[in-house]
Each structure stands twice: as structure tokens, then as C-alpha cells.
Amino acid sequence: MQTQVMAPAVEGTLNVLRVCSSMKVQKVVVVSSTAAVHFNPNWPQGRPKDESCWSDWKICMENELWYSVSKTVAEETALEYAEKNGLHVVTVCPCIVFGPQLQPIVNASSELLIYVIKDCHRVQIALGGRPVG
């Protein structure tokens, strides 16, 4: 699972940035995910998360949260690439994106919506095969 999620996230982001550089694009918005900043138990409670907050890789790896690891690594890689290549990159980390289902199974965002519609009191989303929430 790790390689199935990591490589597309990191290489896909780098491929887009390389094309942008070759086409002389100066500014790029990278749409990341709250998963890149959410899993950080050392972040002070109540403090808003900003560009200095990253998900803790070790915790994500231990809990097999590969999506979080992939988004964190992809975002860090994008910022490193931008700095080395003179590209202005801004990242946006939405928490949930809803839209048409492209796959035959329900994804985590749609699962959350189903729970909300059913009026569940406690929402759990399975990330990496383990319930979180």
C-alpha cells in the first residue's frame, strides 16, 4: 500500500512542477490535504495550524496512514523543488472534498457524508485500514 500511494503523490506533484518550470510558469497552487498537517500530537492544542505544522511521519508510518505520509512528503517535496528552481508555490490543505465518485467503492470523504446524513453521533473514517476519529 505504501508504494501504491507514495509514488503517485510525490512523482505526480513533481511532474506537474517540472512542466510548470519548463513552460516558464511562475506561480503554482498545489492542492494538498489536511492529512499533511493533521497527525501531529506535539502541536500545541488550540494553536491554529500553519505552514510550520506537518504530520508526524513516524506516527503515520506506525499507524499505516500512507495517505497522510504521501501528502506530507509530496508537499514538502513541492516546496523544496520550488525553492531550488525559483518557482513560487502555495499549498492549500482542504479537509474534505466532495464530488462525483470516480471509483466503484465509497471513499473516506463520501463515507463521512453518509454518516452525517444518517445522523451518527460519532464519525469514524477508516484511514489505512484503522479507524481514526
* CB of 72 closer than 8 Å to CB of 60: yes
Q: How high is the pLDDT of residue 7?
A: 87
The answer for residues whose C-beta is within 8 angstroms of residue 19's C-beta and 6 or more apart is none
Q: How high is the pLDDT of residue 1?
A: 61
Distance CA 4, CA 23 (A): 29
Q: How high is the pLDDT of residue 128?
A: 42
**Which domains does the chain possess?**
2-95 (3.40.50.720), 96-133 (no CATH)
pTM of this prediction?
0.74
Q: Per-residue pLDDT tens for 37-63?
A: 988 888 898 898 888 889 998 898 898
State the catalytic residue, choosing from 24, 27, 58, 71. 71
Q: Per-residue pLDDT tens for 65-112?
A: 888 999 999 999 999 999 999 999 999 988 877 777 788 888 777 777
Q: What does the block give as the cell for 44?
A: 500545541
**Is 71 among the residues known to form the active site?**
yes
Question: What is the C-alpha R_g of the chain?
Answer: 16
With CA atoms as reference, report the closest residue to 71 among 88, 91, 47, 85. 91
